[in-house]
Structure formats: C-alpha cells, structure tokens
C-alpha cells in the first residue's frame, strides 16, 4: 500500500483511484470504525488532508460511512472487498447494454476452475466460494 518511488527516486504518483483503493483496504484491515488519523497511518505517503478528502469522496459514493464521535468523525467501509467487487460487477453489467452478450463473454473467458465454482454457486452448492 505504498506510493513508492519512481526510477529517479522521486515519489511515484498513484494511478487514478489507487488511493481510494488503499484507503478502503486500510478500513478493511482495521475492521471497524476508525478515525482518519488511523487510516492515514495505514496509507503510506498520504497526507492527513488527502486521506480526509478521499474518505469524504468515498462517503459521497456510499462506500464508506461517517459518524461523529466526540469532536471528530470515525469511518467504516460499508461492504467488504468481495461485496465491493460484486457491486462493481453489477454496475458494469447494468451499463453493458446486451446483458446476455456481456454474461456470455464473461463466462467464456472463465478458467475451468472458476466456471466450476460459478456452476456450484448457481446450483446452491456451498462447497466453495
């Protein structure tokens, strides 16, 4: 979860959305409501104000909750990593136009193991997943 350095020793610029992912990962790691300062400790190289901005954006997107505790706020992820990924998949499916074509392409690109896992999940077999 570090910003890291580029080939010249300069701080590496994070890709778009990367810092949001790092902030969410920090929230998942601690597993409960925490202050922005705790999140900042877990996100290397990020300024406190930057973390606050990202937390606010994530709240606006509905991915993080914020509640007042004392004179500050505590933040918590709304969903776990699997839930967020599933929501993203639903969103992409909704935007993809022809749902059948999108699903067919998705399934055709699955590995044999993932295809078997999906089949088990569709038939209610809790063996994996």
pTM summary value: 0.67
**Model confidence pLDDT, tens digit, residues 10-68:** 666 767 678 999 999 999 999 889 999 999 999 988 999 999 999 999 999 999 999 99
Among residues 112, 113, 94, 110, which one has the least CA distance to residue 102?
94
The count of other CB atoms within 10 Å of the CB of residue 11 is 11
Structure tokens at 79: 């969903």
Structure tokens at 13: 């610029």
**Model confidence pLDDT, tens digit, residues 59-114:** 999 999 999 999 999 999 998 888 888 888 888 888 878 888 888 888 888 899 99
């Amino acid at each position: 979860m570090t910003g890291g350095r580029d080939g010249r020793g300069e701080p590496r610029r994070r890709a778009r959305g990367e810092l949001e992912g790092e902030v969410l990962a920090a929230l998942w790691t601690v597993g409960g409501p925490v202050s922005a300062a705790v999140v900042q400790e877990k996100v290397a190289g990020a300024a406190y104000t930057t973390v606050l901005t990202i937390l606010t954006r994530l709240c606006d997107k509905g991915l993080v909750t914020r509640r007042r505790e004392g004179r500050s706020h505590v933040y918590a992820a709304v969903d776990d990593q699997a839930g967020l990924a599933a929501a993203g998949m639903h969103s992409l499916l909704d935007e993809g136009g022809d749902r059948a074509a999108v699903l067919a392409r998705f399934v055709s690109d699955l590995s044999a193991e993932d295809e078997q896992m999906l089949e088990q999940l569709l038939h209610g077999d809790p063996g994996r997943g």
